Structure 1
């Protein structure tokens, strides 16, 4: 057997190691912080909902490095969304909340970059969000930190600066649906697999960025993620 062309697998570096984490799927949770839901025009604890990005949308950035993200085409309104990313380490379906932690391989700092104008137009027309959310390099991500090293993350500061000025600042404990609940609910719709990444939602403060801007995201215990728009 031979391949028509060599298979390509997106990977994320593992902190303090030369190991690479192969990416299977990228799931993202929408409106999962109260104040962000409010700024997007929603209130209340709605059932979690999800959208996906292609696995090769990741832009991996090793600790201490600055990634370069090309400003995407077809938009004039690119927004940042800082998020805790959860990496799944084994397969499972219909996972209970109580067992969810055992499926976590590790954590990272991520950015769900969004072509907001395209997303907004898709919403108006009742169309999918793919062009607004799932474009090339739309998922910058830091090195992954194994849960064996970090222990379970249920609280801690999540923060984003743009050009040294604060844009987003909150705490993981303010998630509407916490990580265990999110894993459990998502696993009712999909059989989760080793290599899946879950972007768990962004706090308030999302805003537009432009070419030349330097984004620096931090989550307590996970180091930082630096990305410059080029």
Structure 2
């Protein structure tokens, strides 16, 4: 989950960022000091979820959330505030949750889990609207780990740690935080199982949505910048338009 933190207090932002670092498959993609700066940052970092303070100078959190709710597929909003009198107003702008400061780690994790379920439903709706291919059939229970054969025996790779799958002839390369591993599965099988977490960007590539940092355009080619990966991953012409629309809608 790509999370953007908006709070006018630097110490509060630092604390929230440290809490996010303890949560697997969660990435802090940026910070903002007020509502106006938040609105300017959202189109460039594509957050799934925004942790939003309410009382801030200039445009406050409620005003910013109201503006964001006007978009077709707004990020999920979790308000984090020291004041409880704004709860009713917060839910009127479709907030997923309302946490009182000091926010506890356990409460933050529960709120993010709830927001992630909401965002997943939005993702499927955007896929339908933009024409991005959806998985043919999602398994009732997705694997949390992928098993691969190695000289040591069987290694387990956490799906949450996978940056992308890249097909090359009959094998698929799995790129993760520890490097690359060959997998004896087809890209089609992986897309069918994990299509709600990975995006097809090329006939031979599936990219983890949670690790996409930006879509870049060089010459006549689009590339994805992926967290923790130096090289850029090419986006095919066939998928470029739908991928761009999808990322702009999140």
Superposition TM-score, scaled by structure 1 size: 0.25
Higher Cα Rg, which structure? 2
Superposition TM-score, scaled by structure 2 size: 0.23
